Amino acid sequence: MDAGAYAARLDAVVAADSRELDRVCEEVAGALLRDGAEPPFDVGSADFAADPYLICADRYWRLRFLERPTILTAAACAVWLGARVAREARTEVLERWALGYAFITKDSVESAVELARATEEIVSRDAPAGDVAYFATLYHAGKLRSDFHFDELHQFLDSSLLALAAGAHRQSALFTALRSFAAFGSRALTAEYATGLLDRAWRSPERTRHVVDICLNGIQFAVPFDGHGVLLRDRAAEAVRDHPGDHMFRFRLATGLHMTGDHDAALAEVDTALRLLPAVGNRGSHKLLQEQYLTKREVIVEGRLRAALDAEHRARLAEREERHQERWARAEEEARRQKEELERALRESQESARANHVRSVELVALFASVIAFAVGSLQVTLTGDFSLRDRLLLIGAWGLGHVAFALLVIGGTWLITRPRR
């Protein structure tokens, strides 16, 4: 089949429905591959949903990569892309193809020896080596990214001959975003270093949708650090504002909200991502993404339920603690009251004992006086030759003296032992 025949078949389906468009583009791509010919037509747009030439070229190179997933295939694709795709659509097509084909061939990462041989051949070609090396670098880096080989990706982007051959493209926003992805996932690099690369790519005027996606992907799968969830939530929210219809950014935002504990908002975002997903075409791996989103939704629902149970548990603990504090306060008050009563009883007992002691001293003094008076009176009565009148006077004087003595002892005892405040 000649070049005109391929183009004629594609022109015939411009206004057809999407199913027919996919079928014809797939057939033409398969025919090109069987004939050993690359697509013989130019691509003027980056419309992967309606441009039959782009869709057919996309299917063709997809088949080529599935058949031979190597850096040399990526180099051939880069040469065709530079010659056939319009400049205004080239960046979008280049980034989507390099990263997309890397994802579908991620199970075939080439060895260091194969990488060195391919790099040598790419550099020796007549085509612009920097452009070709850049596409090939993105392709190989995309494989490492899809396999989450963070340290290998970091080393490849920083020091491999293929990446160095990309020249000025190493400063591109997408290249920096890939470096940020590698740094976030590596345990040998700090979160501050990764965030610095992220900010460079994020603030670049060349920032594309793919740059944003890789940046968010890197944050999501980063080694946990302080502010991890907040960073993902905030950057994903900005991406959603710029691309409100992008299901992947909605999914990243749902993940960030889930990490920060906002389960209701996370559930709303992942449901929105699921609603937007059917608009994705054949290359979007609809089933795979749907399963991923549904799994995340289950995790969010489970986290939401767990958070509700934790909140209820904390409320019960707080109520129990409050009751415990009340009982403790009542117990302390009761103990204080009992202590005061005990101290009061002790004081009363001490005062009563002291009073009894005083009474005992007074009683002893009184008995001593009575006995002394009786003995003295007996001597006066039984001895001497005093008259009765003199004896009575003497006994009276003696008794008054003992009364005075008893009163003096009793009064002194009371004065010494009387209560004092």
pLDDT digits (tens, 9 = 90+) for 127-164: 567 899 999 999 999 999 999 999 999 999 999 999 99
Whole-number pLDDT of residue 359: 60
Is residue 143 a contact partner of residue 102, using CB atoms and an 8 Å limit? yes
pLDDT of residue 346: 83
Closest by CA to 77, choosing from 50, 89, 59, 52, is 59
Close Cβ partners of 105 (under 8 Å, ≥ 6 residues apart): 65, 66, 69, 143
- Please, which residues bridge with residue 85 across strands? 43
How far apart CA 97 and CA 103 sit, in angstroms, is: 10
Residues 100-111, buried b or exposed e (16+ Cβ, 10 A)? bbbebbbeebbe
Nearest to 9 by CA among 19, 24, 30: 24
Q: What is the pLDDT of residue 383?
A: 60
More confident residue, 384 or 236: 236
- Of the given ranges (92-96, 178-182, 319-323), which has the lowest mean pLDDT? 319-323
Mean pLDDT over 336-363 rounds to 74
Sequence letter at residue 89: A
Query: 109-123, 165-179, 258-272, 366-380: lowest mean pLDDT where?
Result: 366-380
Residue of 86 and 127 predicted with greater confidence: 86
pLDDT-derived band at 343 (thresholds 50, 70, 90) equals confident
Q: Is 409 helix (H, G, I), strand (E, B) or coil?
A: helix
- Max distance between CA atoms of the chain, in angstroms, equals 180
For the segment 87-111, the average pLDDT, to the nearest whole number, is 95
Output phi, psi for 43, to 5 deg.
Answer: -115, 125
283, pLDDT greater than 50:
no
Residue 116: how many other CB atoms lie within 10 Å: 14
**Most confident by average pLDDT, 183-197, 387-401, 406-420:** 183-197
CA distance 94 to 10: 22
d(CA 202, CA 253): 16
pLDDT of residue 391: 67
What's the pLDDT score for residue 417?
A: 63
Q: Spell out the SS3 assignment of 374-401.
A: HHHHHHHHHCCCCCHHHHHHHHHHHHHH
Average pLDDT, the chain: 87
pLDDT tens-digit readout, 39-76: 999 999 999 988 999 999 999 999 999 999 999 999 99
Average pLDDT for 291-305: 92
Give the pLDDT score at 199: 97
Q: State residue 114's pLDDT score.
A: 92
pLDDT tens per residue, range 243-256: 999 999 999 999 99
Which residues have a Cβ under 8 Å from the Cβ of 96 and sit 6 or more positions away?
46, 48, 210
CA–CA gap between residue 96 and residue 77 (Å, rounded): 12
Torsional sign, CA 130, 135, 138, 144: negative
The pLDDT > 70 percentage for the chain reads 84
Domain ranges within the chain, ordered by starting residue = 311-417
Give percent of the chain with pLDDT exceeding 90.
59
More confident position, 356 or 132: 132
Q: Kindly tell me if the per-residue pLDDT of 281 is higher than 60.
A: no
